[in-house]
Chains A and B, each alone.
Chain A
Amino acid sequence: MFELKHVNKSFRDRGDVIQVAQDLCWHLGSGESAALMGESGAGKTTLMNMIAGLDKADSGEVLVDGVHIDRLGQAELTAFRRNHIGLIFQKFHLIPSLSAWDNGALQARLAGVFDSDFANHLFDVLGIDHLAHRRPSQLSGGQQQRVAIARALMHQPQLVLADEPTGNLDEATSAAVIELLVSAASDAGATLLVVTHSASIAGYLSHSYRLGSGTLTPAA
């Protein structure tokens, strides 16, 4: 589904050079799921941003669904992300002025593929169908993250990228949310990459990788 070929990426942080990727090669197939782990500051989020087209590699190739996204211009990249990628963030990033339903439907509507039956199904599966008309400020953290998951899946993307999706949730809620995310992504046939510190979260996914000093190794 996505492939990184000989990717190099580094950035400077308070005078230190952080090496995120050093001749990095990585591939994750369709429908697979993986956890990306590593120390704080190792560059997990930067690596995920490169796959999402939110950041550029210094060199190498980044392909998503066979498309060289590192060669796309801003407008094409935005359109690609809109149609092919779903994003989930640690702090949910819902739009406070929209209802849960409108937040969930947002990316599908932007992509012009909104299907109300599928939306109802997804809200039902995620257990938030009764919260559809509430605003984000009227939802708990777990409920907000479920709405964010709905938003990431509703346009039925080939790739879902989640950055610490349970980082702001308690243990019980985390487990429930990750279970739902994995199951919903699997049902939708989407490839799922989750950035996490937690080994227990990684346990829900079919593969685990650890990033350190610019190289990627399978996690134990």
Chain B
Amino acid sequence: MMRATLVTLATTLAFYRQNPLQALFVVVGLVLGCGLYTSVAQINASAKASYAEADQILGVSAPWRITDRVNTNVAITDYIRLRRAGFTRVYPVIEKRLASAEGALISIIATDLLALTSFGSGVDSGRDSGVDTGSFGGDGWSRLTQPPYEAWVPPQTAERLAVTEGQQIRLREGKLLPPAIIRSQPQQRDQIFIDMGAALSLFETDRVSYLATSPLTETEQQKFVEQFGDRLALSNQSQTLDLSQLTGSLHTNLTALGLLSFVVGTFIVFNAVNFSLHARQQNLRVLQDLGAVRAAIFTAIAIESLFWAVAGALLGTLLAQPLSAALMPAVAATMQNIYGASVSSLPVFNTGLFWEALLLALAGLLLALVLPLVRASATHSDEPDSRNEALFSRHNVVLAGVGVALLALAYACYPIASSVVQGFALLSLVLFAGVALLPMVVVLVSALGRSLTRQHWLARWAFADVSLQFPHLRLAMMALLLTLIASIGVTALVGSFRLALTDWLETRLSADFYVTAGVIDAEVLAGQVWIQAAHRRLVAERSFAGRTLTVVGIDADAPDFGPDDIVDGDPEAFARWLLGGVGVDRVFANEQLRYLGGLEVGDTLELETDLGIRPFEVVGFFHDYGNVNFSLHLPSGRLEQLYANAKPQGWGIWVEQSQRAAAELGLSQLGLEPTQWVSQRDVLALSLTIFDRTFAITRALNALTLLVAAVAIFSSLLAVYQLRRPEYALWRSLGMSWFGFFMVSGFPIVLMTVAAMALALPLGIVLSWLLIHKINVISFGWTMPVIVAPEPIAFLFVVVAAVVLTAFILASLRQQVEVNKALKNLAGE
């Protein structure tokens, strides 16, 4: 048995000595598949390690917050009063997002280090504070807290802003931050840390963003309400979602993309292994006829596979290192921008991932080997090849049936899928339905083409040649189809996201300027000639179904909210909302209340108000992109009646386009500091830049998967050309010109690519619909309109056509030489 196995192994491996390119494709398929999967797994593992680290240091990140009931910020005198009243664990925090002189976004966080519990009595640990006090030991903090102060800039932020040690960052309005020290605290994220004293002086204010404190006992809470309840509000922040929950769907998404890459890589391996087994079929049959038992053949192939798997996993893991290092900044940007989660830009190597890659490579090879091996060993050398056209069509019909069944299953399961994993299972059903339907689509398109070109023999021939090339290119085209569906789905998703974000931002930031609350009043604004409209919103915070609910007062004539913003309300909803009801108030609710809170139009929810518990009838919903909280919109007049202490937000000011410069000057003349107003056009442009950076990861993964599919097509074409070389030599021997030769031999790949595109388009749109209406709803509780913009899809198709054409040209490069060589052997064949 041992000797038979070795003889078989030597015979089967001899094939790769003669065909090193096939050996290369087996390795390339495994390396690309394992490499992409491992790099994504490594990114996920690194991100999760960052959350664990953040959790360990941050705890629940200052679970209690104290805010002003009237103003958006808290007076420092209130802080002092609280400390004097015995609330010694309270500390002030200033958080600001500003623009640098160069227009880059800067986040600043400031606190009073001496007020942090670990610096005070030493009773509590730094876990309860918003800052890792443990890292402030030694003499570092003394320089931070004393003039000329320091600004601690995290390395990735310093790199982004091109700031070096000692340099002072200039803000847009000209102020300078303290000298930069490049260092970071684990929970600092992308924020620049400065001392509270430095911040108060820098922003020339005596107010802070909020006060934070570690958990208060029942007695302390009661004491707080009694002494400060009229002016200050205490809220529990622990109701916000934790990072791993928030980012779960992104990681599932990344893992799915990684697995997709692996599936596409497996297609390459399957193709290469299938070809090598096909080419060695005669050898295997002869070996079997000569007495090599099936077990020896299987063992030899298993040893060969193990070798390929180890090589593929090892090289794949190595490839994953630079790949994940290149992708990690984009992922870190996504985490920061969407979820506010801080993730290191450097991936951490994990040896467990190698074993995972090896297992995947073995599973992929097993899949790739089983079918052709069974076919190869089940036939004896004197038996003709059992494959024929009838079998192919039966095979295709069965596959098409499977495809339709998968789509039907996805349709049936759609209403009951309720978790992220189930949502991704739905996506898999759609993807694999496409794969199963592809052969039938190609056969049908080819048959249609033949019948339409009955009178043109060359066209008929070209269409007929599809049936000869397709069996060899089937897997590569399936890989391309998977890539196309995923690319279209994600492109439509990102496009929809971008449009929804733009829409949302333009609605929320529809005002040209935003002025901080409390620095200017309505009468002053009314006297300005450059003002077209000015509105402000009032906000009251409550809780509903375990989550924060904001009740927002909206001016009916404010340009940023109107009947067009309502989804699923009746045509009279806006008018009814304005009028209110008898004994019941009418509200518009955000979609989060519909999908996560279970409310529908016509439902009523009860909330505590100043007038007691009141019913609120939902008369419609509005999109609320990215909000993790529930929200209701009430007419502002009614809100003031129900919530006398509702907090006013800043003023949104609309001006004529021609009055923008006058408005900026006017705001300055009114005595407003540059930090007290923002130009919302700038914020909009900045937000879109951040968005594009955020989704760089999906574009990069799509491009890599397309590259893998291109390799699959290239390797398949080489295999087809090698297998069909005698036939191609015949074409030439009959006097076919090279032009005609490449037309007929190249046409099938064109037709198959077009068929794959045609099938990918509807399925890609279904995929994006599922991503938006299922995965997004499950993950975040909000949805948005699915926008399928033709331009990016047309661009994708052009790129795919270029990639396929390149693969065809590369594979055809030596065709002329090789076919000419084969001409001489034609007669001997």
List A contacts of B468 (CB < 8 A). 96-97
Chain B nearest CB: distance from A165 CB in Å?
Answer: 11
CB of B78 closer than 8 Å to a CB of A: no
Contact call B737/A75, Cβ cutoff below 8 A: yes
List B contacts of A10 (CB < 8 A). none
Residue interface mask A103-125, B partner, CB < 8 A = 1: 00111011100000000000000
Q: A54-B823, A97-B468, A135-B389 in contact; A110/B736 too (CB < 8 A)? A: yes
List A contacts of B737 (CB < 8 A). 75, 78-79
List A contacts of B460 (CB < 8 A). 102
List A contacts of B467 (CB < 8 A). 97
Give Cα distance in the complex from A49 to B825, angstroms. 9
Give Cα distance in the complex from A103 to B532, angstroms. 80
List B contacts of A75 (CB < 8 A). 737-738
Contact call A83/B735, Cβ cutoff below 8 A: yes
CB of B829 closer than 8 Å to a CB of A: yes
Contact call B457/A54, Cβ cutoff below 8 A: no
Contact call B829/A87, Cβ cutoff below 8 A: no
List A contacts of B457 (CB < 8 A). 102, 105, 109
Chain B residue nearest in CB terms to A91 = B829
Contact call A82/B735, Cβ cutoff below 8 A: yes
Chain A residue nearest in CB terms to B461 = A98
Residue interface mask A85-101, B partner, CB < 8 A = 1: 00101110101111000
Contact call B733/A54, Cβ cutoff below 8 A: yes
Chain B residue nearest in CB terms to A109 = B457
Give Cα distance in the complex from A163 to B825, angstroms. 12
Contact call B730/A45, Cβ cutoff below 8 A: no
Give Cα distance in the complex from A214 to B829, angstroms. 23
Q: A54-B826, A54-B827, A89-B829 in contact; A97/B733 too (CB < 8 A)? A: no
Residue among B727, B736, B738, B828 making CB contact with A82, cutoff 8 Å:
B736
Q: A45-B827, A55-B824 in contact; A78/B389 too (CB < 8 A)? A: no
CB of A30 closer than 8 Å to a CB of B: no
Q: A93-B727, A93-B829 in contact; A79/B824 too (CB < 8 A)? A: no
CB of B388 closer than 8 Å to a CB of A: yes
Chain A nearest CB: distance from B740 CB in Å?
Answer: 7
Contact call A110/B734, Cβ cutoff below 8 A: yes
List B contacts of A78 (CB < 8 A). 732, 735-737
Residue among B388, B733, B829 making CB contact with A81, cutoff 8 Å:
B733
Give Cα distance in the complex from A102 to B461, angstroms. 8
Residue interface mask A5-24, B partner, CB < 8 A = 1: 00000000000000000000
Contact call A48/B827, Cβ cutoff below 8 A: yes
List A contacts of B465 (CB < 8 A). 97
Chain B nearest CB: distance from A168 CB in Å?
Answer: 11
Chain B residue nearest in CB terms to A152 = B734
CB of B726 closer than 8 Å to a CB of A: yes
Residue among B461, B726, B735, B738 making CB contact with A93, cutoff 8 Å:
B726
Q: A87-B733, A93-B829, A111-B735 in contact; A98/B464 too (CB < 8 A)? A: yes
Contact call B824/A54, Cβ cutoff below 8 A: yes
Number of residues in A with C-beta < 8 Å to the partner?
36
List A contacts of B735 (CB < 8 A). 78-83, 107, 110-111
Give Cα distance in the complex from A110 to B823, angstroms. 18
In this complex, which of A96, A111, A135 has the most chain B Cβ atoms within 10 angstroms of its Cβ?
A96
CB of B305 closer than 8 Å to a CB of A: no
List B contacts of A195 (CB < 8 A). 827
In this complex, which of A48, A75, A105, A137 has the most chain B Cβ atoms within 10 angstroms of its Cβ?
A137
CB of B820 closer than 8 Å to a CB of A: yes
Report A123-138 residues with CB < 8 Å from chain B CB: 135, 137
CB of A177 closer than 8 Å to a CB of B: no
Chain B nearest CB: distance from A79 CB in Å?
Answer: 6
Give Cα distance in the complex from A50 to B571, angstroms. 86
Give Cα distance in the complex from A89 to B827, angstroms. 6
Chain B nearest CB: distance from A43 CB in Å?
Answer: 11
CB of A140 closer than 8 Å to a CB of B: no
List A contacts of B738 (CB < 8 A). 75
Give Cα distance in the complex from A105 to B458, angstroms. 11
List B contacts of A110 (CB < 8 A). 734-736, 740
B residues neighboring A (CB under 8 Å): 388-389, 457-458, 460-461, 464-465, 467-468, 726-727, 730, 732-738, 740, 820, 823-824, 826-829
Closest 6 CB pairs of A and B: A82-B735, A97-B464, A163-B827, A45-B827, A93-B730, A107-B734
23 pairs, A vs B, C-beta closer than 8 Å = A48-B827, A49-B827, A54-B823, A55-B824, A75-B737, A78-B732, A79-B735, A81-B734, A87-B733, A89-B730, A93-B727, A93-B829, A95-B727, A95-B730, A97-B464, A97-B467, A102-B457, A106-B734, A110-B740, A135-B389, A137-B389, A163-B827, A195-B827
